[in-house]
């Protein structure tokens, strides 16, 4: 994994957005998996500011994860975030996007649909990730074993403290997520890490020790992964 250290958040957003645009210009029919949360927000804003450089008509998107219990239009849902920060500004239609519904009463069916889609249309061309404070990527939480495909994951106490869901009032205990194989089979991975609150976990990641207790450490095994890292809050 290539580490690109940035002096400021603005620099990170600029460099990461330019890398993403380069990838999308190289393959205008990319299958893109996009993270949600604080880390990618500035990057997505830059992408929308430069949207004249992106031909979105052939792009396809797949949902990385979702809070199980939140629906498409619920405040705090990953789906609502993606539509607000990425899909609507870029003009991405519903036909260009596959997701699992966090409100479903049949999660197994939703997850199987995503597996089937990746089996037919995958692998992911560009996977944009954030880094959890406990080292998770998507909702692949630290554990004795990691799941390869889309699954319902029990959420750690760290994940349940996430700002996205703190004010929802919903009794969320699980996350729907792509698995480690789905992520690691991506042709290009971009990991976005910013803020002083991520410094401790980033220091652990930099030890390059591969462990299921630090799911992000598996990105060291990927041949085309790049991390954009800013260790301050400015």
Tell me the pLDDT tens digit for each residue of 10-33: 999 999 999 999 999 999 999 999
pLDDT value, residue 166: 63
Mean pLDDT of 212-227: 98
pLDDT band at 232 (very low <50, low <70, confident <90, very high): confident
Long-range CB pairs of 162-168 (<8 Å, 24+ gap) are 162/37, 163/38, 164/36, 164/37, 164/67, 164/76, 164/78, 164/81, 165/67, 165/70, 165/76, 167/75, 167/76, 168/67, 168/70, 168/74, 168/75, 168/76
Q: Which of 13, 65, 85, 125 is catalytic?
A: 65
Q: pTM (2 decimals)?
A: 0.95
Question: How far apart are the C-alpha atoms of 78 and 40, rounded to whole Å?
Answer: 12
Question: How far apart are the C-alpha atoms of 131 and 137, rounded to whole Å?
Answer: 6
pLDDT value, residue 113: 95
Q: Which of 141, 151, 162, 182 is catalytic?
A: 141
Mean pLDDT of 131-139: 95
Q: Is 65 a catalytic residue?
A: yes
Structure tokens of 210? 């591969």
pLDDT value, residue 169: 65
Given a cut of 80, is residue 160 above it in pLDDT?
Answer: no
pLDDT value, residue 167: 64
Q: Is 162 a catalytic residue?
A: no
pLDDT value, residue 38: 86
- What CATH number is attached to the domain comprising 80? 3.40.50.1360
Q: Which residues contact 47 (CB under 8 A, 6 or more apart)?
A: 17, 20, 21, 54, 86, 90
Q: Give 106-126 pLDDT, tens digit per residue.
A: 999 999 999 999 999 999 999
The count of domains in the chain is 1
Q: Which domain holds residue 96?
A: 2-230
Q: Which of 136, 151, 162, 222 is catalytic?
A: 136
> Are 212 and 137 in contact, with CB atoms under 8 Å apart?
no
Q: Give 40-93 pLDDT, tens digit per residue.
A: 999 999 999 999 999 999 999 999 999 999 988 888 899 999 999 999 999 999
Question: How far apart are the C-alpha atoms of 198 and 41, rounded to whole Å?
Answer: 16
Q: Which residues contact 213 (CB under 8 A, 6 or more apart)?
A: 135, 142, 143
The percent of residues in the chain predicted with pLDDT above 90, rounded, is 85
């Amino acid at each position: 994994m290539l580490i690109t250290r940035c002096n400021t958040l603005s620099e990170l957003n600029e460099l990461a957005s330019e890398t993403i645009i380069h990838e999308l210009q190289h393959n205008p029919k990319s299958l893109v998996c996009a993270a949600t949360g604080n880390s990618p927000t500035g990057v997505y804003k830059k992408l929308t500011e430069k949207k004249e450089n992106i031909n979105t008509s052939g792009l396809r998107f797949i949902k990385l994860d979702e809070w199980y219990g939140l629906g498409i239009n619920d405040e705090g849902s990953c789906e609502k975030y993606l539509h607000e920060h990425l899909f609507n500004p870029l003009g991405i239609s519903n036909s260009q996007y596959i997701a699992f519904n966090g409100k479903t009463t049949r999660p197994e069916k939703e997850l199987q649909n995503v597996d089937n889609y990746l089996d037919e249309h995958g692998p992911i061309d560009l996977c944009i990730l954030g880094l959890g404070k406990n080292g998770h990527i998507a909702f692949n939480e630290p554990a004795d074993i990691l799941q390869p495909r889309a699954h319902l994951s029990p959420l750690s106490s760290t994940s349940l403290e996430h700002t996205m869901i703190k004010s929802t009032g919903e009794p969320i205990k699980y996350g729907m997520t792509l698995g480690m194989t789905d992520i690691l089979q991506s042709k290009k991975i971009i990991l976005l890490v910013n803020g002083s609150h991520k410094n401790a976990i980033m220091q652990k990641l930099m030890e390059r020790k591969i462990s299921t207790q630090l799911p992000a450490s598996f990105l060291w095994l990927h041949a085309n992964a790049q991390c954009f890292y800013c260790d301050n809050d400015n």
